[in-house]
């Protein structure tokens, strides 16, 4: 980054600036059910979702004559991998998605939507109301795991875990 590079200010953002919440919007949303939709079809329900994150690199700059602080300039944004966990089912969708292109050294990228639902507060259909949606672009599996299998732990549920890489995500409606 050169010293003459300009940086954006809040007033020049292309999107609306963030606004504080008010009233009922400030209550936390309960995490009841998560699903993945691919090609507008629900392909799985999940018990856990972890690793959804955005981080921004910063480039520090020491300015001569200013010894009590330094400056930082915004850099690239990057997204962490997202990991889903669910009780193992008879579906082999995630295993097949993971192994597509294994002999060609490629992976199958897919756009998908992560949907969070909670029990519908007014009791009308549908039973679960959509709370939030996240749209992920060009996702592909980087890891697929099944929890340890053992006769000693016959009371435990076998968990299938899928980790995905993706280009970016946006908040949906």
Arithmetic mean of pLDDT over the chain? 80
Q: Is the pLDDT of residue 157 over 60?
A: yes
Instruction: Calculate mean pLDDT across residues 85-94.
Output: 79
pLDDT of 24 higher than 60: no
The CA distances from residue 107 to 62, 161, 167, in Å, are 43, 18, 14
Determine the number of helices (DSSP H) and then strands (DSSP E) in the chain.
1, 10
Chain center to CA of 108:
18
- What domains are defined for the chain? 30-53+80-171 (2.30.110.20)
Token couple for 134: 């996240």
Reported as a single tens digit per residue, the pLDDT across 138-152 is 999 999 998 888 777
Residue 1, CB-side half-sphere exposure with 13 Å CA sphere? 15
CB 17 within 8 A of CB 55: no
Question: What is the C-alpha radius of gyration for the chain, rounded to an integer number of angstroms?
Answer: 21
Q: What would the mean pLDDT of 83-103 be, rounded to a whole number?
A: 85
The per-residue pLDDT for range 56-80, each reduced to its tens digit, is: 999 998 888 878 888 899 999 999 9
d(CA 46, CA 145): 14
Please state, in angstroms and rounded to a whole number, the distance separating the CA atoms of residues 143 and 37.
19
Q: What is the mean pLDDT of residues 138-167?
A: 86
For residue 68, give every residue at least 6 positions away whose Cβ sits within 8 Å of its Cβ, in sequence order, or none.
none
Q: What is the mean pLDDT of residues 19-47?
A: 69
Predicted confidence (pLDDT) at residue 121 exceeds the cutoff of 80: no
Q: Is 19's pLDDT higher than 80? A: no
């Amino acid at each position: 980054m050169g010293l003459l590079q300009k940086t954006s200010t809040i007033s020049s953002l292309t999107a609306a600036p963030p606004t504080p919440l008010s009233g009922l919007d400030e209550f936390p949303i309960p995490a009841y059910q998560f699903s993945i939709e691919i090609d507008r079809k629900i392909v799985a329900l999940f018990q856990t979702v972890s690793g959804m994150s955005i981080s921004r690199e910063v480039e520090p700059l020491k300015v001569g004559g200013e010894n009590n602080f330094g400056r930082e300039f915004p850099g690239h944004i990057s997204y962490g991998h997202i990991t889903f966990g669910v009780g193992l089912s008879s579906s082999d969708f995630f295993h097949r998605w993971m192994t597509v292109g294994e002999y060609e050294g490629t992976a199958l990228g897919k756009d998908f939507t992560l949907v969070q639902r909670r029990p519908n507060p007014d009791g009308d259909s549908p039973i679960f109301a959509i709370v939030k949606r996240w749209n992920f672009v060009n996702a592909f599996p980087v890891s697929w795991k099944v929890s340890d299998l053992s006769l000693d732990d016959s009371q435990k549920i076998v968990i299938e875990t899928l980790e995905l890489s993706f280009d970016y995500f946006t908040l949906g409606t």
